[in-house]
Amino acid sequence: MMSRLGVGVAALVLSVSASYGADLTVGFVTSLSGPGASIGIPYEKGVLAGHAYAAKVGDVNIKLIRLDDASDPSAATRNARKLIEEEKVDVLMGTSGVPGTIAMAVVAAETKTPMISLTPSSQPQSANGQWLISIPQPPPLMVAVVVDRMKKAGVKKAAYIGFSDSWGDLVYDGLMKNVAGSAIQVVTNERYARADTSVAGQTLKIIAAHPDAVITGGSGTPGALPYLALAERGFKGGLYGTPALINPDFIRVGGQSVEGVICSTGPVIVAEQLPDSNPTKKVSLAFRDIYQKTNNASTSDAFSAYSFDAWLVLLDAAKRALAKAQPGTPEFHEAFKDAMLSAKEVVGTHGVYNFKPGSFYGVDERALVIVQLDHGKWKFLP
């Protein structure tokens, strides 16, 4: 029988081995509560599907730590510091809103921790260089395909209403960039907070401008608010949006008011409707299968697929980084950063990812299709 001293020594050896083990630790932040929860919960379900798909890179285990930021950018900051300083994570991933993501990105750059953004975001300028990449399609590209559709529909006057934060700014800036030099005039720039319960005043201004169509810069459940208000006032023009609206709660809350809305989105949403030649179709169908098995439910949103694609990019970068350094070291952080900034042709559900230093986004036109809500289902518009 092993003596108590022997047991103690063995436990100490095990503890020391664990502290110098090769686990790759990922810190994941999302909004499981608050206004952003309708997006944040799918993000978490997507990352759980990713972890179920591959919990190891070679012989190295991936440890996933998940935290809720309650849709609060300050909580996202605290979570990022906790994950880095206390949990010693190798990679950050998150979060559900652009303001929270930007807050996390500041901490990531300051501490030289690689970060994979789940929202369309860039990293604030940092003396430590670039430590962030963004998985979703860049807002100008999201809006470009919508503007093309508006042109084909003969829209001349478009009204805009979006969040009064950085996401609303990103969509509006993308809209103005893409209508420049065209026949489309943007006649309003109305804003509302994510937690608002009414946009009556903003809607009256939109109606008074007599637009042919309205395009919104909202997301998730709060993104339905302008459409509800427009329907109440009998607006009959075109309705347009971005991938940020591709969410079951948006459809549930919007009901008949969001029927017919046209959005850009990643091809995963209509994977079964795509031709077999589409490069993302096979991965998208595999994602749906692993998501079903992991969450005991089918997926019908765009956000869980962003998390899954982030996991695929993580696996690709980790494989190359592990050839140079061990997790838990500054050398690994540097190697992972270099690897994620040089990813080539990583096929995901939303697109095919190619990253390079100086660019936060990794997708091209293959990452977007146009869909329309028809009887509560998204239909592919070729």
What's the pLDDT tens digit per position in 167-202? 999 999 999 999 999 999 999 999 999 999 999 999
* pLDDT at 121 (0 to 100): 86
Of 339, 282, 348, the closest CA to residue 316 belongs to 339
User: 118 and 17, same structural domain?
Assistant: yes
Give the model confidence (pLDDT) of 54-65 as tens digits: 999 999 999 999
> Considering the domain boundaries, does residue 376 fall inside one?
no
pTM here? 0.85
* pLDDT at 124 (0 to 100): 85
Which of 235, 265, 295 is where one domain is finished? 265
- Burial of residue 5, with CB atoms counted within 10 A of its CB: 0-12 exposed, 13-18 middle, 19 or more buried: exposed
* CATH number of the domain to which 192 belongs: 3.40.50.2300
* pLDDT at 202 (0 to 100): 98
* pLDDT at 18 (0 to 100): 36
User: 251 and 168, same structural domain?
Assistant: yes
Q: Token pair for residue 71?
A: 């849709």
* pLDDT at 21 (0 to 100): 55
User: 131 and 145, same structural domain?
Assistant: no
> Considering the domain boundaries, does residue 282 fall inside one?
no
78, 297, 299 from 288: Cα distances, Å: 33, 10, 7
Split the chain (382 residues) into runs of 10 and give each run's mean pLDDT: 39 36 91 93 97 97 98 97 98 94 96 96 89 95 95 97 95 96 97 96 98 96 96 97 92 96 96 94 96 93 95 98 97 98 97 95 94 96 88
User: 152 and 95, same structural domain?
Assistant: no
Q: Token pair for residue 150?
A: 């508006």
Cα distance between residue 78 and residue 89, in whole Å: 14
User: 98 and 72, same structural domain?
Assistant: yes
User: 145 and 132, same structural domain?
Assistant: no
User: 143 and 133, same structural domain?
Assistant: no
User: 348 and 291, same structural domain?
Assistant: yes
Cα distance between residue 63 and residue 25, in whole Å: 5
The total number of structural domains in the chain stands at 2
Preceding peptide of 119 cis, ω within 30°: no
User: 80 and 122, same structural domain?
Assistant: yes
User: What sections of the chain are H helices per DSSP?
Assistant: 4-19, 37-53, 73-85, 98-111, 139-152, 166-179, 200-208, 225-232, 248-254, 281-295, 303-321, 330-340
Inter-helix orientation angle 225-232/200-208, to 10°: 60
Which of 265, 299, 327 is where one domain is finished? 265
> Considering the domain boundaries, does residue 375 fall inside one?
no
Of 28, 80, 34, 29, the closest CA to residue 220 belongs to 34
User: 150 and 129, same structural domain?
Assistant: no
> Considering the domain boundaries, does residue 64 fall inside one?
yes
Cα distance between residue 115 and residue 117, in whole Å: 6
Domain range for 168 is 139-265
User: 132 and 14, same structural domain?
Assistant: yes
